[in-house]
Structure formats: C-alpha cells, structure tokens
Amino acid sequence: MLGGLIRLIFYAVLVYLAYAIYRFYRALTRPRRDPPPPPRQVQGVMVKDEVCNTYIPREEAIREVRDGQERFFCSEECRRKSRAR
C-alpha cells in the first residue's frame, strides 16, 4: 500500500517536471511582444461643447468653423443639434 502511494507521488512529480520543461521551452520559442505603449496623456486646452456644456480636450473635440467662429463638439450628435438650432 505504501509503495503504491510513493510510486503515485513519484509519477505525479515526473509529469509536473515534464510540463514545466515544456512550458519553459515553449516560452523560449515564442516571439517576444513589444511592451504596450504608455497611456496617452492629454495635454493642452479644454474646450466647451455649447450644446451639452461638456468640457473636452481640444485635441479630441470635433471642430467646426461657422460664420467665422470656431466651435467645438464632443460628438456628432451634439454637432447635429447645433446645426438644427
């Protein structure tokens, strides 16, 4: 009985070692990925959407020049609402 238990533990350790070696060699052959780029930090001026009164970064705003005046919108929906007025 005790001999069978020791044999079972021995085989389990062998299977685990074989799996660990397989994963190690698989990681060596896998192409390396470039690290992800750092999160983009928005810098600059915040502009106000006149329709929904939301402040958004100027770089991300939808820009429209109407009657010589520059206007900014947070979405196409707000842009359409402004045109409807």
Domain count, the chain: 2
Asked whether residue 41 is assigned to any structural domain, the reply reads no
Residues 50 and 80 placed together within one structural domain of the fold: yes
Confidence of residue 8 (pLDDT cuts 50, 70, 90): very high
Contact 74, 62 (CB under 8 A): yes
Going from the C-alpha of 47 to that of each of 19, 26, 52, 56, 59, the distances in angstroms are 57, 51, 12, 6, 9
- Looking at the domain assignment, is residue 53 inside a domain? yes
Looking at residue 24, what is its pLDDT?
A: 93
Domain contains 39: no
What pLDDT sits at residue 42? 60
Provide the domain limits for residue 61. Answer: 46-84
pLDDT of residue 17: 97
Is the pLDDT score of 73 beyond 90? Answer: yes
11-60: pLDDT as tens digits: 999 999 999 999 999 988 888 888 888 887 767 889 999 999 999 999 89
Q: Is the pLDDT assigned to residue 64 strictly greater than 80?
A: yes
